[in-house]
Amino acid sequence: MTQPDPVEVSVHIAATPDTVFPYFTDPDRYVRWMGSRATLEPEPGGVYQVWMRDGVEACGRFVEVDPPHRLVFTWGWDHDHAVVPGSTRVEVTLEARDGGTLVVLRHYDLPGDEQRIHHGQGWTMYLDRLAGLVVHGDPGADPHRAG
């Protein structure tokens, strides 16, 4: 059985990879565009944990960290038996392009079309928020942020 193609989302951000990369590894910067609290240990085997609305947590481990070009972490939800913590893999690449950074996020191993659609929509929204934060200092309202 072949694996489906990953969910792929990208955004161009008018800033250098050195500027953008820490928004994926520094908990204080991360929660400015996604989640309300984060524990991030950006080294292989380190914790990836982000608290979303209603106490829901995205959980996994960092697999690869190559500043400022690439990071890989496992992903899953503490509340969801379809996508359990660490059951999927997220790869983020940052490439200097056109005076800024092309951020490409690929989410692998999501089970079924419903999960692929849900995660694709979520990552699209959050990468757009990241771009707004880095460029304008304001990501806009997050409808999924814990109160």
Within a domain: 92: yes
Residue 146 falls within a domain, yes or no?
no
What is the pLDDT at residue 77? 94
Nearest to residue 107, comparing CAs of 81, 76, 68, 139? 76
pLDDT at 91 (0 to 100):
98
Q: Which residues of the chain have pLDDT under 70?
A: 1-3, 144-147
> Does residue 144 fall inside a structural domain?
no
**Overall number of domains in the chain:** 1
Q: Above pLDDT 70, what percent of the chain?
A: 95
pLDDT at 3: 64
Position 143 scores a pLDDT of 75
* HEC sequence for 46-81: CEEEEECHHHCEEEEEEEEEECCCEEEEEECECCCC
**CATH code of residue 50:** 3.30.530.20
The whole domain housing 25 covers 7-136
Supply the pLDDT for residue 2. 56
**What's the predicted TM-score (pTM) here?**
0.93
| Residue 1, in any domain of the structure | no
